[in-house]
């Protein structure tokens, strides 16, 4: 991306220009954000996008670590709102969307304390055996010489991992069915037909979303009731949440449990599937990096699944994951609502204004990351970005609570796949982006499965992936 021509002085877009920019953003946020940055600088404002509203409330797109710091370090002014539709007041949809990512102020602090024990170091490490077991099952089903949609495989695997960790092995099949329902609910939330036409009429996509939410909520409530009736503190996340108490001995309400369960599932499933898929793709496009990584894995693991105490030896694997999360972060843009009048850059934002900040755009600023479209894991040997310059897991006081769990899952699964199989992109594959719940390949990720023989080759794809990643040989 070239350096912007103007910095922080453009008046807000209004009228038809604002509506057109908003529509472009909803259709495909990455080129829309890039266009705003190149033409208007680090901050862009839109005024009165809704022509039916009598009050102007700005929508602002702010890019870069300084704006990220202001937005993420002051949650009392910049309020979180979650990433899915609000839904009708009192509806099942509204309840299941209302987890930590949507909570604010004292409620967020209290719930954060109750959820935090799920992610204590020893408990996270205890989930490792389930990740290994499920990964082995997936790899045993693959056959040499076949073509597989790796995006679909990673979704299926992380769905089973999330279901097992969240609901436990005693209800494995039902847990998986609930996980499938959660996945379908998330997909429906990001459907254009739902987002643009929120009409609660019989047969409408929006009504189908609300009906699905009611069915999902009923299944989660039944699972919660069984945990309470059993009266035992199991090792799965749901059991821990059901029995969690604060310092005054107060437990979560059933509505709070439902919201936390659904949000934790989404965080553990979709983001990890996206990260795994893009990392495997990037390695397929960089044979030298892949060869060096295989040497590291074989040196420390000798073909076995990694033990928890071995993960810290896999330094190149960690750099590969960090660079993949920088280049193609699962979440590319996030939202905050202004709760108090505030100045952001040159704009005075009234209460109710919406602020967008972008993980993707920050990670692609050349002043922070030279040659930002290039996949270069070794940049992490000398790069130490601030917490607001690298934020694949968010930043500030609301940084993703499952960071350590996700990094463990990514390292274990990648180490196991790459030692057993060599994956190459299918000839003629088209890799285009799609952004719904996370950044994903629009047409899947078709890859050929080979025995791991170290003979790495490169199949260059077609598609707009080239707008995001420099795939030329360097």
Query: Nearest 5 degrees, angle CA 148-CA 151-CA 154?
Result: 95
Q: Is 271 exposed, middle or buried (0-12, 13-18, 19+ CB in 10 A)?
A: buried
Say which residues have a Cβ less than 8 Å from residue 253's Cβ, sequence separation at least 6: none
Domains along the chain with CATH numbers: 13-467 (1.10.630.10)
* pLDDT tens, the chain, 474 aa long: 443 333 445 677 776 777 777 777 878 999 999 998 998 899 988 875 444 445 556 789 999 999 999 999 988 899 877 666 778 888 888 888 765 454 445 555 665 566 666 677 888 888 899 999 999 999 999 999 999 999 999 999 998 998 888 877 666 777 778 878 888 888 888 887 887 788 888 889 999 999 999 998 898 888 888 877 776 556 777 787 787 776 777 777 777 788 777 777 766 788 999 999 999 999 999 999 999 999 999 999 999 999 999 999 999 999 999 999 999 999 999 989 999 999 999 888 888 899 999 999 999 999 999 999 999 999 999 999 999 999 998 877 666 777 888 999 999 999 999 999 999 999 999 999 998 879 999 999 999 999 999 999 999 999 999 999 999 876
Residue pointed to by tokens 């499952």: 402
Cβ neighbours, 10 Å, residue 307: 13
Alpha-carbon dihedral angle through residues 103, 106, 108, 112, given to the nearest 10 degrees: -170
CB 420, CB 114: distance < 8 Å: no
State the Cα–Cα distance between residues 221 and 253, nearest whole angstrom.
11
Supply the pLDDT for residue 376.
98
CB 432, CB 465: distance < 8 Å: yes
Residue pointed to by tokens 């254009």: 192
CB 48, CB 354: distance < 8 Å: no
Supply the pLDDT for residue 87.
81
State the Cα–Cα distance between residues 297 and 314, nearest whole angstrom.
7
Supply the pLDDT for residue 391.
95
CB 338, CB 348: distance < 8 Å: no
State the Cα–Cα distance between residues 220 and 229, nearest whole angstrom.
14
State the Cα–Cα distance between residues 164 and 179, nearest whole angstrom.
9
Radius of gyration of the chain (CA): 22
Supply the pLDDT for residue 249.
73
Q: Which of 448, 441, 445 is CA-nearest to residue 468?
A: 441
Residue pointed to by tokens 């990220």: 68
Q: Is 287 exposed, middle or buried (0-12, 13-18, 19+ CB in 10 A)?
A: middle
């Amino acid at each position: 991306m070239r350096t912007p021509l103007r910095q922080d002085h453009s008046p807000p877009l209004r009228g038809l220009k604002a509506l057109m920019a908003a529509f472009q953003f909803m259709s495909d946020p990455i080129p829309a954000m890039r266009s705003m940055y190149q033409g208007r600088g680090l901050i862009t404002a839109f005024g009165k996008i809704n022509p039916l509203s009598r009050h102007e409330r700005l929508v602002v797109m702010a890019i870069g670590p300084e704006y990220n710091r202001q937005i993420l370090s002051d949650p009392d002014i910049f309020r979180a709102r979650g990433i899915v539709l609000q839904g009708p007041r009192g509806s099942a949809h509204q309840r299941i969307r209302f987890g930590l990512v949507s909570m604010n102020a004292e409620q967020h602090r209290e719930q954060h304390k109750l959820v935090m024990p799920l992610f204590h170091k020893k408990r996270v490490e205890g989930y490792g055996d389930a990740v290994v077991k499920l990964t082995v099952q997936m790899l045993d089903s693959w056959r040499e010489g076949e073509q597989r949609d790796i995006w679909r495989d990673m979704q299926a695997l992380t769905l089973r991992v999330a279901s097992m960790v969240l609901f436990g092995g005693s209800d494995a099949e039902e847990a998986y069915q609930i996980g499938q329902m959660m996945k379908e609910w998330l997909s429906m939330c990001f459907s254009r037909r739902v987002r643009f036409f929120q009409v609660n009429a019989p047969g409408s996509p929006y009504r189908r979303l609300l009906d699905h939410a009611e069915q999902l909520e009923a299944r989660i409530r039944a699972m919660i009731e069984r945990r309470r009736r059993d009266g035992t503190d199991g090792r799965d996340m749901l059991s821990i949440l059901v029995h969690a108490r604060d310092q005054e001995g107060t437990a979560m309400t059933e509505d709070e449990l439902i919201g936390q369960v659904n949000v934790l599932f989404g965080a553990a499933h979709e983001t990890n599937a996206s990260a795994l898929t893009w990392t495997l793709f990037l390695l397929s496009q960089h044979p030298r990096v892949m060869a060096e990584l295989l040497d590291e894995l074989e040196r420390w693991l000798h073909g076995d699944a990694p033990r928890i105490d071995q993960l810290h030896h896999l330094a190149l694997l960690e750099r590969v994951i960090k660079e993949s999360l920088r280049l193609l972060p699962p979440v590319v843009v996030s939202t905050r609502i202004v709760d108090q009048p505030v100045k952001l850059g040159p704009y005075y934002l009234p209460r109710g204004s919406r602020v967008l900040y972008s993980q993707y755009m920050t990670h692609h600023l050349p002043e922070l990351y030279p040659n930002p479209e290039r996949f270069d894991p070794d940049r992490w040997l000398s790069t130490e970005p601030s917490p607001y310059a690298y934020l694949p897991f968010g930043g500030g006081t609301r940084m993703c609570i499952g960071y350590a769990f996700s990094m463990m899952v990514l390292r274990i699964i990648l180490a196991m796949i790459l030692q057993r199989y060599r994956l190459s992109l299918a000839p003629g594959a088209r890799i285009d982006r799609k952004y719904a719940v996370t950044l994903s390949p629009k047409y899947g990720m078709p890859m050929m499965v080979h025995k791991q023989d170290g003979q790495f080759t490169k199949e260059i794809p077609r598609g707009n992936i080239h707008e995001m990643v420099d795939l030329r040989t360097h």
